[in-house]
């Protein structure tokens, strides 16, 4: 059995008296498409924040590629190979789209500041490669002609795609997508679904997805974990999750379940 790409062992996140995440065990295999679902406030984004180093777990450990990433700052974790998008879009609004994607390649730059200031050949080559790759990524995400547009001027759907392009630029082995389909109409969601699946194949990366749109989750995820009040209440493939009574209860409440039982 191959070792998991990302492993969370009994991870707990406590804010004062509130346990946002409680004793979470999670294993994400390399190259898989994994979904994380649960009602609002279940702690899903907190899990993302824990994995990316925004929070440090109060208990438990997190291992990426068999190395502990506990206590590392977010930029260090990004350099290890985990990048993310955000629930509320966080683009660099004053920069053009291509620059947004270039910034994410910063960690791979070989040209130092002196190179930049003196405009050495190393800088010129580095810069050209970055711009080229940025354009390629934009095209993969369907944003090819928007390279010079300011990120703040993009329509909402394109902004979400730009965030994904940006996260890809960091050459991650694990990509965390926080509600990528939020605010998209059904057709856009459908397109996004295929896009994400294509990304996995094209770049050979693992993707961990938080989503509320069940069509997207059930459509592309191989495995799904369900969180409720910070606790994992179910885990399995989409069919198992769909039929799991605990999951139904978490989303729809106990009364419905009881009503089902009496009829």
Partner 1 sequence: MRRALWGVGLLAVIWLVDYIAPRMVNAYIMQIAVLCGINVILAVSLNLINGFTGQFSIGHAGFMAVGAYGAAMFTLGVGQSWVAGLVAAGVPAPIAQGIALSVALVIGGLVAAVAGYLVGLPSLRLRGDYLAIVTLGFGEIIRVLILNIEAVGGARGLFGIPVWVSLFWVLVGATGVVLLSRHLAHSTHGRALFAIRDDEVAAEALGVDTTRYKVLAFVMGSFFAGIAGGLFAHFLGYLNPSSFSFLKSIEVIAMVVLGGMGSISGAVIAAILLTALPEVLRPVKDYRMVLYALMLIVLMITRPQGLMGSRELSWPRFLKRRKAGAAA
Partner 2 sequence: MAATDAGGAKRDRKSRAAGVAERLPLARAVLLPDRAPRMSEFLQQLINGVTQGSVYALIALGYTMVYGILRLINFAHGDVYMLGAFFAYYSARWYGAAQDPNPMKALLVLVTAMVGCGIAGWIIERAAYRPVRKSSRLAALITAIGVSLLLENGGQILFGADPKFFPQIIPLKNIPLGGGVTISNQQLIILAVSLGLMGLLRFIVLNTRTGKAMRAVSYSHTAASLMGISVDRIVSFTFVLGSMLAAAGGVLVALKDPKIEPYMGVLPGIKAFVAAVLGGIGNIPGAVLGGFVMGIAEVLVVGYVSPTLRDAIAFVLLIVILLVKPAGLLGKNVAEKV
159 binds, among partner 2, partner 1, none (CB under 5 to 8 A by kind): none
In terms of residues, how long is the chain?
Answer: 263
To the nearest whole angstrom, how small is the minimum distance from the Cβ of residue 88 to partner 2?
9
Residue 246 contacts partner 1 per CB under 8 A = no
Task: Kindly tell me which residue out of 6, 21, 72, 130 binds partner 1, with binding defined by CB under 8 A.
Answer: 130
Q: How far is CA 21 from CA 2, 63, 184, 239, in A?
A: 27, 17, 28, 25
Whole-number CA gyration radius for the chain: 20
Burial 54-79, CB ≥16 within 10 A → b, else e: ebebeebebbbbeeebeebeeeebbb
User: Closer to partner 2 at the Cβ: 45 or 100?
Assistant: 45
Residue 54 contacts partner 2 per CB under 8 A = yes
Q: Under a CB-based contact definition with an 8 Å cutoff, are residues 195 and 219 in contact? A: no
Residue 167 contacts partner 1 per CB under 8 A = yes
Q: Under a CB-based contact definition with an 8 Å cutoff, are residues 154 and 146 in contact? A: yes
Task: Kindly tell me which residue out of 30, 65, 86, 218 binds partner 2, with binding defined by CB under 8 A.
Answer: 86
Residue 49 contacts partner 2 per CB under 8 A = yes
Helices 156-169 and 97-104, interaxial angle, to 10°?
A: 30
User: Closer to partner 1 at the Cβ: 126 or 228?
Assistant: 126
34 binds, among partner 2, partner 1, none (CB under 5 to 8 A by kind): none
To the nearest whole angstrom, how small is the minimum distance from the Cβ of residue 170 to partner 1?
6
* Residue 127, C-beta contacts closer than 8 angstroms, at least 6 positions apart: 111
What distance separates the 2 farthest-apart alpha carbons in the chain? Answer: 78
CB atoms within 10 A of CB 246: 13
Number of residues near partner 1 (by CB under 8 A): 39
Residue 89 contacts partner 2 per CB under 8 A = no
Residue 92 contacts partner 2 per CB under 8 A = no
Q: 3-state DSSP helix/strand/coil percent for the chain, to nearest 5? A: 45, 25, 30
Residue 45 contacts partner 2 per CB under 8 A = yes
Residue 92 contacts partner 1 per CB under 8 A = yes
45 binds, among partner 1, partner 2, none (CB under 5 to 8 A by kind): partner 2
What are the φ/ψ torsions at residue 245 (nearest 5 degrees)?
A: -60, -35
To the nearest whole angstrom, how small is the minimum distance from the Cβ of residue 112 to partner 2?
30
Residues near partner 1 (CB under 8 A): 52, 54, 73-76, 78-79, 83-84, 86, 90-95, 99, 102-107, 109, 111, 113, 116-119, 123, 126-127, 130, 166-167, 169-170
Residues at the interface with partner 2 (CB under 8 A): 45, 49, 54, 86
């Amino acid at each position: 059995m191959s070792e998991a790409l990302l492993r969370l062992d009994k991870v707990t996140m406590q804010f004062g008296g509130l346990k946002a995440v409680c004793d979470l065990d999670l294993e994400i295999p390399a190259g898989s498409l994994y979904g994380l679902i649960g009602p609002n406030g279940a702690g899903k984004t907190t899990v993302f924040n824990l994995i990316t180093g925004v929070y440090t777990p109060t208990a438990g450990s997190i291992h990426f590629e068999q190395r502990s990433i506990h206590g590392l700052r977010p930029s260090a974790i990004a350099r290890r190979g985990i990048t993310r998008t955000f629930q509320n879009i966080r683009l660099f609004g004053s920069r053009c789209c291509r620059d947004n994607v270039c910034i994410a390649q910063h960690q791979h730059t070989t040209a130092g500041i002196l190179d930049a200031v003196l405009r050495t050949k190393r800088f010129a080559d580095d810069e050209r490669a970055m711009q080229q790759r940025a354009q390629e990524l934009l095209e993969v995400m369907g944003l090819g002609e928007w390279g010079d547009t300011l990120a703040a001027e993009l329509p909402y759907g394109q902004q979400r795609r730009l965030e994904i392009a940006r996260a890809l630029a960091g050459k991650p082995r694990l990509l965390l997508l926080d509600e990528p389909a939020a605010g998209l109409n059904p057709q856009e969601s459908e397109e996004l679904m295929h896009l994400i699946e294509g990304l996995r194949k094209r770049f050979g990366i693992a993707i961990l997805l938080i989503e509320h749109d069940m069509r997207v989750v059930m459509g592309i995820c191989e495995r799904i974990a369900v969180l409720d009040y910070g606790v994992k209440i179910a885990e399995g493939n989409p069919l198992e999750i769909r039929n799991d009574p605990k999951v139904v209860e978490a989303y729809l409440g106990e009364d419905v379940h009881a009503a089902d039982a009496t009829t």
